[in-house]
């Protein structure tokens, strides 16, 4: 761990017009900035070039979570005042943690009625802390279809297919936000990778909105991440073990995969079948025990995600690459372009 570290060291100037408002079409037409860490070289490619940038035998690990239809619009049962809830995670099939607006209206015991895909659904506020509320709903519902898929607040007017904010390999709807590095993959690209001898395995990290929250404290080591649920199935643990034993590279698609694999390696001593919670924060100076190659999108300034990428590729090199990405007109954030960090 570095002795001195300041949050302000992880910032850069980003013009608003570079924040992507629509996804690339097709998905793998997005640009790909390739960072070769050992030689400090940068290449400008496209995501469709990925098969030629990876080696046969590499193990590509993805996060197969799916974004919930988590945004609910409703009203106070007594006055009719408008409210909005963003489901974050379930405690039971009827009790959920949610981000709530306006938060001051979520008085414990107050009733709300939400419009859902299956009709009106009542809920009672059970607890409030800042803008986070625990809601007790009247009956269970399917989080995959109950409301609308929430896009990040910096995407203002996208009216396209909501499936473009899902990965093509997503499974259970458990997340409040997408693992965005995976948005670039198409079935055709995955087939090409497979034919080249690049294996694929999946983990699950249920992405919470706190993952993207900018760090507000001066020392990022004092920033606490919200806990997120993770799962590593036995087949994935076996695949990672064999790759490491054979000196083959583990390629993480996204920071959520990095945090999942590195958390389990720290907790268990190796990547083993696992289900639990992680609030792992990775900063420059931290050791990477599992991941050899990282594919990721371009992240917010002062975010823990940018700090993780700096830890992997070197702070000066990564921030120089970000500044070059701005000059070259790369598109940033969830619908934006990608970066591949190679040893």
Note the pLDDT tens digit of each residue in 100-152. 999 999 999 999 999 999 999 999 999 988 778 999 999 999 999 999 999 99
Please give the average per-residue pLDDT across 26-52, as a whole number.
Answer: 98
Q: In the chain, how long is the greatest CA-to-CA distance?
A: 65
Spatial separation of the C-alpha atoms in residues 196 and 40, rounded to whole Å: 27
Burial class (CB in 10 A: 0-12, 13-18, 19+), 227: middle
pLDDT band at 262 (very low <50, low <70, confident <90, very high): very high
Residue 115: φ, ψ to 5°: -85, 125
Residue 303 is classified by DSSP as B
Residue spans of the domains in the chain: they are: 7-67+158-342, 71-137
Residue reference for tokens 């974004």: 67
pLDDT value at 66 more than 90: yes
CA 253 from chain centre, in angstroms, equals: 10
Q: Is the four-CA dihedral 185, 186, 188, 190 of positive or negative sign?
A: positive
DSSP designation for 143: T
- Asked whether 312 and 257 are in contact (CB, 8 A), the reply is no
Continuous H helices in the chain: 50-53, 187-195, 234-245, 255-268, 304-313, 315-327
**pLDDT band at residue 23 using 50, 70 and 90 as cut-offs:** very high
Give the whole-number percent of the chain exceeding pLDDT 70. Answer: 97
Confidence of residue 3 (pLDDT cuts 50, 70, 90): low
CATH architecture label of 71-137: Beta Barrel (2.40)
CA distance 124 to 106: 9
Please give the full DSSP string across 11-46, using - where no structure is assigned. Answer: -----GGGB-SS--SSGGGSEEEEEETTTTEEEEEE
Read off the pLDDT of each residue in 283-311 and give the average, rounded to a whole number: 95
**CA-CA-CA-CA torsion sign (290, 293, 296, 301):** positive
| CATH hierarchy code of domain 7-67+158-342 | 3.40.1780.10
Mean pLDDT over each residue of the chain, to the nearest integer? 94
């Amino acid at each position: 761990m570095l002795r001195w570290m300041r949050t302000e060291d992880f910032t850069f100037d980003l013009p608003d017009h570079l924040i992507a408002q629509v996804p690339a079409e097709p998905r793998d037409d997005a640009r790909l900035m390739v960072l070769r860490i050992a030689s400090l070289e940068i290449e400008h490619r496209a995501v469709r070039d990925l098969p030629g940038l990876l080696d046969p035998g590499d193990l590509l690990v993805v996060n197969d979570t799916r974004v919930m239809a988590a945004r609910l619009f409703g009203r106070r049962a007594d006055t009719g005042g408008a409210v909005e809830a963003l489901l974050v995670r379930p405690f039971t099939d009827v009790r959920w943690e949610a981000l709530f607006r306006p938060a001051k209206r979520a008085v414990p015991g107050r009733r709300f009625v939400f419009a859902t895909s299956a009709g009106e659904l009542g809920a009672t506020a059970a607890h409030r802390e800042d803008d986070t509320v625990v809601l007790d709903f009247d009956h269970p519902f399917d989080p995959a279809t109950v409301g609308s898929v929430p896009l990040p607040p910096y995407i203002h007017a996208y009216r396209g297919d909501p499936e473009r904010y899902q990965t093509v390999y997503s499974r259970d709807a458990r997340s409040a936000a997408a693992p965005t590095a995976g948005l670039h993959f198409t079935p055709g690209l995955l087939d090409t990778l497979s034919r080249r001898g690049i294996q694929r395995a999946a983990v699950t990290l249920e992405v919470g909105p706190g993952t993207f929250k900018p760090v507000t404290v001066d020392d990022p080591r004092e920033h606490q991440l919200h806990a997120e649920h993770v799962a590593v199935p036995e087949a994935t643990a076996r695949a990672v073990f064999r790759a490491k034993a054979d000196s083959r590279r583990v390629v993480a698609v996204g920071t959520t995969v990095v945090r999942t694999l590195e958390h389990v390696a720290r907790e268990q001593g190796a990547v083993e079948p696992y289900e639990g919670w992680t609030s792992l924060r990775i900063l420059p100076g931290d050791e990477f025990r599992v991941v050899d190659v990282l594919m990721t999108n371009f992240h917010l300034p002062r975010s823990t995600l940018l700090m993780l990428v700096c830890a992997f590729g070197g702070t000066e090199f990564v921030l120089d690459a970000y500044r070059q990405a701005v000059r070259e007109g790369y598109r940033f954030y969830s619908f934006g372009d990608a970066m591949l960090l190679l040893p």
